[in-house]
Structure 1
Amino acid sequence: MTLSTSVATPLRLAAVAAAVLLTTTACSSSEGDDVARDPAPDAPTGAPALDLPADVRSRGLVMVMDTGDGPEVCLGAIAESWPPQCGGPEVLGWDWSEHEIHEKQGRVRWGSFAVTGSWDGTALTVADAIPAALYDVMREEPEPDPLPTDPPSAAELEAIADEVAAVLPGVSGAQGAYPTEQQVYVDVPFDDGTLQQWADTTYGEHVVVVVPALLPRQA
């Protein structure tokens, strides 16, 4: 009769030790990979909210367009047709009879004005409007925008333009975001400096230049 035994022999101990070593090595290798692997970089978390409504003025002249469904302020590109074609946020408190210096064709009315008023993020309530014919355009030449000390590559600038177009509020309603040789310009309806500060912090100083159509009135 053969009796089984639980006493470990040298051969059995060697086999067990080898199995444990292999298992421990595999686990350690897997855990090491997890620890050493860098996480994917986070996408921008979004621009900070602006303090709205805000008292604003236009950056120079803007076009107020009314195709018959109510006035809009064109903060982006304007098609050079007759009448011109453009669109934008709704203009509240506007009465064409109070702004006689404007163009008209059929039911379409339009004109260029320097405006002041209140911006709530979706609509502009106009308090005052100076027609282009009476607007004093004598201003100092703006200084060139400073350039980044270490400009991103062309591919990086393209990626940044795509990101800021998706993150900053209202960009799709204006010209959008577009890279130049060393920077990205992004048109927004309004900025009180908050969006530019966010862009400098996120991408580095002077990499992204925020160009608002509306500025704080006191600026």
Structure 2
Amino acid sequence: MGGVNDSYPPGCTGPTIHGWDWDSVDGEKRAANVIWGDYEVRGIWDGASFTVSKQPPQSFTPPTEPPRNRPVDPLLDPRNRGTGAKSRLEQIQRALWDSGQPVLSETQIENGYLFLWVPYDDGSIQAEMDKRFGPNLVAVRNAFLPAN
């Protein structure tokens, strides 16, 4: 959960993950004293760190396209274009990545918005982004999904 630098091995950031055990998973990669992999993990997010549940992590191949049943974000509709210039959104994006707050899993500039995927937002992160940068610039989205 966090940004991945396109390097070998990848450089990653993200929250602390309690209860992770590399011996309990398959499919990890190793290079230059770095271990990494893609996994589907269930657990509890406390707002600052993630604790793995007793259900073991499963190897995961990230999809190349969003799932078909995922609703299209209404802010991607050209009729709902945001007010952000690309240069301003890139400036905000750099500032957020550099500060490490909020914890980000991904960012994307599209349709006049900077989309931020955070582990979980109860609305307070969106309110803080609106206060800090102004409305209709930053769109906060939840990266963690409730388990079925």
**TM range, smaller chain:** 0.5 to 0.7
Gaps of 5+ in 1: 1-73
Q: Deviations over 1:190-217 (max 9, x none)?
A: 235x3587479x836xx64323322333
Q: Deviations over 1:108-158 (max 9, x none)?
A: 21111011101112211111311126x9x9942534321475645445x93
Q: State the alpha-carbon separation in 2 of the partners of residues 152 and 140 from structure 1.
A: 25
Who is 2:22 aligned against? 96
Describe how 1:82-121 pairs up with structure 2 within 5 A: 82-105=8-31, 107-121=33-47
Describe how 1:1-219 pairs up with structure 2 within 5 A: 74-76=1-3, 78-105=4-31, 107-127=33-53, 128=55, 129-132=57-60, 139-140=67-68, 142-147=70-75, 151-155=81-85, 158=88, 162=92, 165=96, 170-171=101-102, 173-175=104-106, 179-192=109-122, 194-195=123-124, 198=127, 203=135, 208-218=138-148
Q: State the alpha-carbon separation in 2 of the partners of residues 138 and 209 from structure 1.
A: 18
User: SS of the residue aligned with 2:119?
Assistant: strand
Larger fraction in helix? 1
The structure having more radius of gyration, on CA atoms, is: 1
What TM-score, normalized by structure 1, do the two folds share? 0.46
- Name the CA shift for 1:101/1:152 in 2 (closer, same or farther; >3 Å): closer
- Name the CA shift for 1:110/1:141 in 2 (closer, same or farther; >3 Å): same
- Name the CA shift for 1:145/1:104 in 2 (closer, same or farther; >3 Å): same
Q: What root-mean-square deviation, in Å, do the aligned CA atoms of Structure 1 and Structure 2 show?
A: 4.1
Gaps of 5+ in 2: none
- Name the CA shift for 1:197/1:216 in 2 (closer, same or farther; >3 Å): farther
Q: Percent identity?
A: 28
Asked whether the equivalents of residues 189 and 214 of structure 1 are also in contact (C-alpha less than 8 Å), the reply is yes
Asked whether the equivalents of residues 15 and 103 of structure 2 are also in contact (C-alpha less than 8 Å), the reply is no
What TM-score, normalized by structure 2, do the two folds share? 0.62
Aligned length: 134
Q: Deviations over 1:134-185 (max 9, x none)?
A: x9x9942534321475645445x937x84xx5xxx93364445x64333331
User: SS of the residue aligned with 1:142?
Assistant: coil
